[in-house]
Amino acid sequence: MKLSFSKNGQAMPEKTVELPQSAFEKIEGTEVYWLGNASILINSRGTIILIDPILDSFDMPLLIDMPIKSSEIPKVDALLISHIDNDHLSFETLNNIKAVTQEFHAPAHVADVMIEEGFETQEHAVGNVFKVNDITIKTTPTRHNWQNQMPKYQYREWKEEEYVGYWLETPDGSIWLPSDSQLLQSHLEMPQPDMILFDFSDNDWHITYEGAIKEANTYPEADLLCIHWGSIDAATWNTFNGNPADLVNDVVNPKRVHALNVGGSLTLKRKQQN
């Protein structure tokens, strides 16, 4: 694990790796790319899934460079949005890839907002199952409706079902994005995933660090691809300032902790017990 540190001591990736056009071509297995913060690209045998992509106009200062210009993305089979927060949903990025994206998927309310912005979006309740080519995707529950506690956002009721995670069954194994969420009991009762897109933010509206360790050790064989760290310049903001090196001391089988460079990838490997 190679890390760098900001001038304020925030752990961050060593560098950004430029994402090549070959990342979108047909391949034999499944590669999972970290695009910074919570943005993920999955290439499963040529099927391209983007999750919460933000490659343009972050409204917060960044520690990283983007691995690709959104306008250079050649194809997207399905784009998944987990929730409406501005570090997960960028309409500038979506507009730049709209012409090459086959499908848009989002939970309640988020889908309505996306439709209003001109994106034909399929809405999914928690527990819904849908397919993208040979990938089966199921939405999983989260609890992240923090806006209800903030007077600025109390112009509506923010419902728990407007935030989802995603479970993806690919030909090469399972990938689970619990997404931004408090730890739920159901998060400890999932099938054994092969890879977790792992938020370990020590924040009360995220999983908390203690909760992250509990989740990780419930699934001791799953690869942990760290997200939601080292990207936004916020050394005093626990939502974004986790250090993946801490996980090595606390999780079972620490070699499965992966702190990628931005633009780096991890090969999905099916675990034998599955």
Over the stretch 69-82, which tens digit does the pLDDT of each residue have? Answer: 999 999 999 999 99
Check whether 273 has a pLDDT greater than 70: no
What is residue 37's predicted lDDT score, i.e. its pLDDT? 97
Q: What is the pTM of this model?
A: 0.97
What is residue 265's predicted lDDT score, i.e. its pLDDT? 98
Confidence of residue 97 (pLDDT cuts 50, 70, 90): very high
CATH number, domain 3-267: 3.60.15.10
Check whether 272 has a pLDDT greater than 80: no
Check whether 274 has a pLDDT greater than 80: no
Mean pLDDT of 96-107: 98
Considering the chain, what is the average pLDDT of its residues? 97
Check whether 188 has a pLDDT greater than 60: yes
Confidence of residue 33 (pLDDT cuts 50, 70, 90): very high
DSSP string, the chain: --EEE-TT--EEES-BPPPPGGGGS--SSEEEEE-STT-EEEEETTEEEEES---S--SS-BSS--SS-GGG---BSEEE-----TTT--HHHHHHHGGGB--EEE-TTHHHHHHHTT--EEE--TT-EEEETTEEEEEEE----GGGG-GGGTTSPPPGGGSEEEEEEETTEEEEE--S----GGGGSS---SEEEEE----TTS--HHHHHHHHHHSTTSEEEEESSSSB--TT-TTT---HHHHHTTSSSGGGEE-PPBT-EEE----TT-
Whose tokens are 């090595």? That residue is 248
Mean pLDDT of 153-172: 97
Mean pLDDT of 20-26: 97
Confidence of residue 59 (pLDDT cuts 50, 70, 90): confident
What is residue 130's predicted lDDT score, i.e. its pLDDT? 98
pLDDT over 90, % of the chain: 97
Confidence of residue 154 (pLDDT cuts 50, 70, 90): very high
